[in-house]
A = this chain, B = another copy of it.
Amino acid sequence: MNTTQSNGTRKACDLAARPPRERILLAARDLFYRHGLHTVGVDAIAEAALTNKMTLYRHFKSKDDLIVAYIQQLASEGDEVWERIFSENPGDPQKRLDAWVDFVEEVFSNKLERGCALANAAVELDSEHPAKALIESYKRRKRGQLEKLFKDARYHDPRLLADEVFLLFEGARINIQCGKRGPASRVVQMLRKLLASGRRRNRPEGNAKSERRNDTAL
């Protein structure tokens, strides 16, 4: 089949006429997520990347190194989502929260039958694996960003709320692997209900000007 489509400089996303390192990371992302880190061999990744094992080892000095790159890729993309939500809703913490829930809803509406790739990787990785620390710091960062958002949006008890929302999200993604019609299918409703019931009413969010942190309600 034709891999080099008509327009050469186009940023074709699903084509395989891209630099090999990118192809390898794409293949690793797909296979690692679907089948786990340990069950997927480097040969299978190289083959899925339309290349061979030697080229893989020219770009990654070991399989563990590839795993680290895989984790870094996922983490930075998650951070980019967060930054996009921030930049698209400037200065309005409440809108950012709502946009985040919309994002969660979109995540669950897409194929997610294997849950959170980072959490799954953490299950398979030893405590000493260098990727493990990346996952831990990512998860900690996300929870902290949630808490800060709740604080900025003047919610009651932002720490508790962030804990609850974060754990519900985590629990839903681990539990979706035990069936798509379980409690995970209703997590978005739960999140929306949590946000509604925890919202502060004496502080209307009409003017979007104060992205300051001096107004810490609690």
Contact = CB atoms under 8 A, between A and B. Distances in A.
A138 to B, nearest CB: 9
A65 B184 CA distance: 30
Interface in A52-81: none
Contacts of A14: none
Contacts of A126: 35, 39
Given A139-B178, A140-B182, A167-B187, 16 more contacts: A36-B38, A38-B39, A38-B124, A119-B123, A123-B124, A123-B174, A124-B124, A136-B179, A160-B193, A162-B183, A167-B168, A167-B172, A167-B183, A171-B171, A171-B174, A197-B217
B182 A139 contact: yes
Contacts of A217: 193-194, 197
A17 interface: no
Interface in A172-215: 172, 174-175, 177-179, 182-184, 186-187, 190, 193-194, 197-198, 215
